[in-house]
Chains A and B, each alone.
Chain A
Amino acid sequence: MASAAHTCDALVVGAGYIGCAVAAALAAAGVRTALLDRGPIPSGASRANYGNVQVQDAELAHSLPMVTAGYRRFATLEAELGCSVGYRRVGSLLLIETAAQQQIMAARLPTLHAAGIVAELVPAEHLAELEPLLDYRRIAQDAILRPMAACYHADEGQVSPFQFMAAFLRVGRRHGLAVHPHTEVTGFDIAGGRLVGVRASAERFSAGVTILTTGAWTPRLGRLLGRDWAIPHVHGQALVTERSDLRLNNHLSSAAFFEAMHAGEGDASAGETRPASAVLAVAQTADGHFLLGEAGASTEDLGAHATGQGQAAVAREVMRVLPVLARLRVLRGWAAPVAFTADSLPFLGPVRDLPGLILATAFKSTVVVTPLVGDAVAQWVCTGRTDLDLTPFSPDRKMAVE
């Protein structure tokens, strides 16, 4: 079979949130761009995401400028994109179960406040005002888990994941973006020490610059280049229920994540497989479906298989906190490998020693920074510089060993 050859100025590999936004921003800037994904488009962990625009859970040392600037973009995003992304303002409640968690969350507040993020600790007796589903005198009488407090931040949001990605794809296509689903990168082309393109089975894409927005698949591609990028993944699972007339006012999640990070537990080392355990993550779509999660299991496998064990773990965790949802019917579950890094910082920026390659992946909270990162990458490609300081996110940084 004859090889198909494509030429473009910029090639984006991985059509999740970041990939779609980067491809759209490049195309809109007049760059001849192609977007590839090994699966359908949109794809990856982004398909399995709630669409939460998260702010208060940001990594504190280096991410706040990006997160706060990212959040501000949402005020004008729909107007810029010319269509709805299902954006609405939603608050966030990080539920605190232990004294250790409370200490950790309290310690975060000064840094958050200094960045203009007005999160506050709310004692248990005031939770019901913010979130009626946590009213332990009435609707939540059967709850086993009654948080001792919560960290509350009003200014967060939610988008509809598919509408969000579709909006970027629409903008991109309007500006000539070429979209290639079901096209898996199988090799890279290097000439004169520069990355000049990729191969996907019998097809060849040559490009002046290649941007990898490939999440959990990034290390696999890195190995093709002889790189050992430290981007492990966790197998995340969640459930969606039928519509309910119960109203969830805020995203609910658990401060347990911060406790684990603080204790240096991180996640299993490479090669170890652990069964699913669940950490609370509850949201609700605009039309009333509850999004329930999330179970994480460590596994080398990049397959997105929902397991009964993971689903049961999610259900048990949610029932501890929100037994009022007991009779709600789960319509489906899904799973995806979700990339993360040991320091909670993304891989964002050019790769030293390989001109022509940029990484933009493994974000802690992706949605909030998606439009901003799209613009930043486009700015880098077009001008060689960015307004955003990318130094802490360098793909070449040494990862601290816990």
Chain B
Amino acid sequence: MRVELAVVGAGPAGIAAALTATAAGVEAILLDSQPRPGGQYFRTAPPGVAENVRSDDFSRPMRDRATEVATTNRPLLRQLTASTVQVMTDVLVWGAFPADDGQGWKLALHGPHAPARLTARALILATGAYDRPIPFPGWTLPGVMTAGGAQAFIKGQRRVPGRRFLLSGAGPLQIAVAAGLVQAGAEVVALLEASRPGLRDLCHAPALWGQWGRLAEAVGYARTLLAARAPFRLGWAVTEARGNEQVEEAVICRLDRDGRSITRRTETLAVDTIIIGYGLIPSTALSRQLGCAHEYRPDRGGYVPRRDAELRTSLRGVFAVGDGAGIGGAELAQIEGRIAGLAAARDLGRLSDGAAQAALRREQPDLARQRRFAAMLGALFTPLPGLYALADDATIICRCEEITLGDIRRAVAEGATDANEVKGLTRAGMGNCQGRVCGELVSRIIAAEAGRAGEAVAIAAAGCFTARPPIHPLPLAALAQADGL
């Protein structure tokens, strides 16, 4: 199968890119591994699932119809449905390779309705992001889940994934989750914000200019939470999860300015679900497997592909947009999607230079505004270094292979200086998730053991796990059927 442009990931960035390119006359296909487009931000529930009414042990149906309506009526999703963009869902891109004629890229696909491969002259990667893990004793117990995961249940399955909730994190995502839970009738025992924005953070106030929609949303959440009297604490975090086989209680602690727990000020709360929301990490497995150059940018969520002003990566014909290229939110994602869509259309000869330049220029003011906002969020809510000191030697870091902080420290003491050396010695990163969850944690531990905890340069020097195909585990038979790659 051949197309001019393949867009990988049907979240806000990918949809915007596909719509823009198609409108310019590009033959484009939009791919996503989920059953419906929308990604995380625009996640929709399957039709009618909100009508299921059950009472259950660990999960309650959402009672709030308004949120459901809002999400399913996203303008961008309606535009996609009305467009001629070819959309293929339930398909995983497990690797991407240079096309044989050097004129583009071969994508290796796996899915019930997908061909084994797809050739495209240009690629726009819009692979999104996932929750940043902050390990602490007991974090592997059933009942500890991420804010993104809670949102997936709320938005995607119209279910509340627990009964008595503690939310702990840094930044606005968990506020939205808390509001959603409260509206659904769940019991929010406490909402903890680890950061302590102070007077000096007022310098970021200008970044709020123009963000009226967001501010309105935030006010809405605040009102919901205040009305429910959901206890909110600034400068606190969960430091331990306890329970026999699943979460039964949580230990929370006041934090100092560096995020270290002030152990005299702890409390224990009886909860069954702990939601941790410490921001997002860009999904770069595909861009790294392809061989795009990356850089470590903690202000953008971690490793991100290097891009030029038109969002091209270091590889010809490959663009990267949205949270998958640096955390920035849904609005920025759409703007970037449009920019890459325009640039790709020009590269493919579907738009004249003049038309492309004019359209790109029109995007710049919004782009600048959204980038400022993203930078503000990054500055305010990047997890404080002390939070990474919650784990002790017995705490599991590589969840898949059950490798502890102590195991990793021993490997560093033995002489391992980078993530791949630690991986070889401990097996951290060799499990099912292919190092997605523990990857940056390992690099942070290496930096900390060298006395440079939290220093971006030291973390970057420790590198990241090498990404190779298949970028998700696949049955052997699926690889065997991959013809003509």
Contacts and interface: CB of A to CB of B under 8 A. Distances in A.
Pairing of A with B: yes
Interface of A: 40-42, 47, 162, 166, 169-170, 173, 179, 181, 239, 241-242, 292, 305-309, 311-312, 314-316, 318-319, 325-335
Given A179-B415, A308-B106, A311-B479, A40 B485 contact: no
For chain B, give the interface size range: 20 to 34
Interface of B: 94-95, 97, 106, 108, 117, 291, 414-415, 417-418, 420-421, 424-425, 430-432, 434, 468-470, 473-477, 479-483, 485
Contacts of B483: 312
Contacts of B106: 308
Which 10 A-B pairs rank lowest in CB-CB distance, beginning with the nearest?
A315-B479, A308-B485, A315-B480, A326-B477, A162-B424, A329-B473, A312-B482, A308-B108, A306-B468, A309-B485
A319 B479 CA distance: 10
A292 B470 CA distance: 14
Nearest to B94: A308
B427 to A, nearest CB: 9
Given A242-B473, A308-B108, A329-B474, A316 B480 contact: yes
Contacts of A316: 480
B417 A333 contact: no
B415 A169 contact: yes
A308 B480 contact: no
B97 A311 contact: no
Contact of B421 (A41, A306, A334, A335): A41
B430 to A, nearest CB: 7
A332 B434 contact: yes
A308 B418 CA distance: 27
A330 B479 contact: yes
Contacts of A40: 417-418, 420-421, 424
Contact of B468 (A173, A329, A332): A332
A166 B412 CA distance: 12
A146 to B, nearest CB: 18
Given A179-B415, A311-B469, 5 more contacts: A40-B418, A162-B425, A312-B482, A329-B432, A330-B470
A41 B479 CA distance: 31
9 contacts: A40-B424, A42-B421, A181-B418, A311-B469, A311-B470, A312-B485, A318-B480, A329-B432, A329-B476
Contact of B97 (A309, A315, A333): A309
Given A179-B415, A181-B417, A330-B470, A305 B108 contact: no
A311 B97 CA distance: 12
B473 A330 contact: yes
B469 A306 contact: yes
Given A308-B108, A315-B480, A332 B418 contact: no
B421 A181 contact: yes
A27 to B, nearest CB: 13
Contact of A315 (B291, B432, B476): B476
A242 B432 contact: yes
A311 B108 CA distance: 11
Contacts of A41: 415, 421
A179 B414 CA distance: 11
* Residue in A308, A311, A314 with the greatest tally of chain B CB atoms within 10 Å: A308
B371 to A, nearest CB: 33
A237 B368 CA distance: 45
Contacts, number: 105
B229 to A, nearest CB: 47
A327 B434 contact: no
A169 B425 CA distance: 12
B112 to A, nearest CB: 15
A308 B432 contact: no
Nearest to B95: A308
Contacts of B476: 239, 241, 292, 315, 318-319, 325-330
A333 B470 contact: yes
Contacts of A332: 430, 434, 468, 470
Contacts of B480: 312, 315-316, 318-319, 326
A242 B433 CA distance: 11
A325 B417 CA distance: 36
Contacts of A329: 432, 473-476
Nearest to B485: A308
A393 to B, nearest CB: 29
B415 A331 contact: no
Contacts of B468: 306, 332-335
Given A166-B414, A308-B469, A332-B468, A42 B477 contact: no
Nearest to B470: A330
A253 to B, nearest CB: 18
Contacts of A242: 432, 473
A333 B434 CA distance: 11
Contacts of B97: 307-309
A41 B411 CA distance: 12
Given A170-B414, A307-B97, A307-B485, A312 B479 contact: yes
B475 A330 contact: yes
Contacts of B430: 331-332
A333 B469 contact: yes
B479 A166 contact: no
Nearest to B427: A162
B424 A47 contact: yes
Contact of B473 (A42, A173, A318, A331): A331
A305 B470 CA distance: 12
Contacts of B432: 242, 329, 331
A307 B117 CA distance: 13
